[in-house]
Amino acid sequence: MESPAQTDSMLLPDGKPTILIVDDSAGIIALLQSVLSPQYKVMAALDAEVGLRLVNSPPVPDLILLDVVMPGIDGFEMCRRIKQSAHTHDIPVIFLTSRSSPEDEERGFDIGAVDYIAKPISIPLVLARIRNHLKLKAVATFLRDKNAFLEAEVQRRTRDLQAIQDVTIMVLASLAETRDVDTGNHIRRTQLYVKALAQKLATQPRFADLLDEHTIELICKSAPLHDIGKVGIPDAVLRKQTQLRPDEFEVMKTHTRLGRDAIEHAELKLGHEVPFLRYAKEIAFCHQEKWDGSGYPQGLKGEEIPLCARLMAVADVYDALISHRVYKEPLSHDEAVRLIVEGRDSHFDPTIVDAFVLIADSFRAISRAYADDGERDSANALSEARLVSRRAARHTLANGTHDTNPPP
């Protein structure tokens, strides 16, 4: 039941709280309407079915005065349905009923009512309880909204910090690359190769725990820093456009230790460990290690080599093989895949090579999407250049990759 006067009061833009009265007694409704209307917008219903329709239609009431004993759906059931809905769960419900036994009161509170007033009702008591519960609801709403705002603000600032962190990593990695020649989109490509490999390995039970989603994210964040140590390599070695002498190659090999030490020093300055920097240190220091122990700087063998560095080794070599360098033309994708497969169990972790073969088309797609200028189709390279490239590729597999020419 809803009178024209009540409908008009609901439309007044005065910010009054809305009270819904649900009672099968027209006399009770009329009494409550008369005392509540000066302070509140009032809606009313003679049964729970109409009451539920009003609850679920705008304007949503701020508080409900609810009889228990009614024909059809009783007050307990109506309250239960209100509390089950996320849309109406937070509306305070005050029972007004002649059923005032302790058992009835306990049941009412158990299903979510905030108060229980026995009939015959005391108007001053009802007004006081309404005021109190509306204040409590306002405080709860304020705290909920404040918490939601604070949570959103924390999420925003976390995103900003993550973005700053990501940009800083890319700037540092790009700075190292600018000192080298012909590296182009190497950073982005190798990062995506590592991600694709890690995600493929994660589907295997053996790696599922080692490569959860968060760990893969941290490894991918770290991947661009794999050659950060090149900032410490003299230009005479790093930018040399003829083959390196053995002594120069020894200097080049120090980029792994220089990279690890630089990251470690930065972490010490922070005064605490940073999770993704653990992987950055491992990748920078160990990505030139080989499965059979013939790599550098430590000659680690097999699973002594950190998993993230084993992933980086495949990604780094593949990109070196398909990319133009001062000492070679790019190899085709198929040739690069063949050479990596040849390095299975010697240069590379065999399990990672097997995963690489299964997603080789993804590597091809990444290389094309982020190809450097002039390298859109390596299949057009001249046969003579291909021969030189194959020889250089053998050196790459034998001596490691650092995007410069290996020694003869």
**Do the beta carbons of residue 352 and residue 199 sit within 8 Å?**
no
Query: What proportion of the chain, given as a percentage, has pLDDT over 70?
Result: 82
Q: Give the residue, 271 or 247, on which the prediction is more confident.
A: 247
Task: Give residue-wise pLDDT tens across range 13-59.
Answer: 347 899 999 999 999 999 999 999 999 999 999 999 999 999 999 88
Q: Which of 19-23, 58-62, 149-153, 161-165 has the highest mean pLDDT?
A: 19-23
Domain CATH number, residue 72? 3.40.50.2300
Determine, yes or no, domain membership for 154.
no
Q: Compare 156 and 299 and report the one with higher pLDDT.
A: 299
326 vs 50, residue with greater confidence: 50
* Per-residue pLDDT tens over the stretch 191-237: 999 999 999 999 999 999 999 999 999 999 889 889 989 889 998 99
DSSP code string of 25-66: -HHHHHHHHHHHTTTSEEEEESSHHHHHHHHTSSSPPSEEEE
Q: Look at residue 84 in the predicted model and tell me its pLDDT.
A: 93
The answer as to whether 408 is a domain residue is no
What pLDDT was estimated at residue 53? 94
Predicted local distance difference test score (pLDDT) of residue 242: 82
Asked whether residue 167 is domain-assigned, the answer is: no
pLDDT at 122: 92
Domain co-membership, 243 together with 331: yes
How much of the chain is in helix, strand and coil states, percent to nearest 5? 60, 5, 35
Instruction: Name the residue range of residue 378's domain.
Output: 179-399
pLDDT at position 267, please?
80
Return the exposure string of 328-367: e unless at least 16 CB atoms fall within 10 Å of the residue's CB, then b. bbbbbbebbbebbeebbeebbbebbbebbeebbebbbebb
d(CA 375, CA 319): 12
Confidence at 177, pLDDT banded by 50, 70, 90: low
Does residue 273 or residue 73 have the better pLDDT?
73
Residues 192 and 317 in one domain: yes
pLDDT band at 156 (very low <50, low <70, confident <90, very high): confident
Whether 203 and 307 map to the same domain: the answer is yes
**Together in a domain, 114 and 204:** no
d(C-alpha 327, C-alpha 394), whole Å: 12
Residue 121 lies in a domain: yes
The arithmetic mean of pLDDT across residues 55-65, rounded, is 93
Q: Please check whether residue 387 lies inside any domain of the structure.
A: yes
The pLDDT score that the predictor gives to residue 11 is: 35
| pTM across the whole model | 0.59
Task: Look at the chain and report how many structural domains it folds into.
Answer: 2
Mean pLDDT of 136-162: 83
pLDDT at 399 over 50: yes
pLDDT at residue 403, as a whole number: 45
Give Dmax over CA atoms of the chain in angstroms: 104
Query: Which residues face 65 on adjacent strands?
Result: 21, 94
Q: Is the pLDDT of residue 380 over 70?
A: no
How far apart CA 257 and CA 261 sit, in angstroms, is 6
pLDDT of residue 404: 42
- pLDDT class of 394 with cuts at 50, 70, 90: low
Mean pLDDT of 162-188: 68
Q: Where are the beta strands (DSSP E) in 86-209?
A: 93-97, 115-118
Query: Are 252 and 305 in a shared domain?
Result: yes
SS3 state of residue 97: strand
Q: Is residue 117 part of a domain?
A: yes
132 and 84 housed in the same domain = yes
The answer to whether residue 359 sits within a structural domain is: yes
Least Cα distance to 397 among 357, 355, 351, 338 occurs for 338
Cα four-point dihedral sign 379, 385, 391, 392 = negative
Q: Do 143 and 183 reside in the same domain of the chain? A: no
The CATH number for 222's domain is 1.10.3210.10
Single out the residue in 125, 147, 169 at which a domain terminates: 147
What is the structure's pLDDT at 80?
Answer: 95
- Same domain, yes or no, for 211 and 302? yes
**Do 347 and 226 belong together in one domain?**
yes
Looking at the structure, tell me whether residues 351 and 214 fall in a common domain: yes
Angle of helix 102-110 relative to helix 75-84, nearest 10 degrees, comes to 20
pLDDT of residue 159: 77
Lowest-pLDDT range of 67-81, 163-177, 229-243: 163-177
Sheet holding 41-45, edge to edge: 41-45, 18-22, 63-66, 93-97, 115-118
Residues 267 and 317 in one domain: yes
Residues 124, 190 within the same domain: no
pLDDT per residue as tens digits for the range 260-319: 998 888 888 877 777 778 899 999 999 999 999 999 999 999 999 999 999 999 999 999
Confidence at residue 174, expressed as pLDDT on a 0 to 100 scale? 66
Q: Please state, in angstroms and rounded to a whole number, the distance separating the CA atoms of residues 130 and 48.
A: 20
- What SS3 class is residue 344? strand
According to the model, what pLDDT value does residue 2 have? 41
First-to-last C-alpha distance (Å) of the chain: 96
406 located within any domain = no
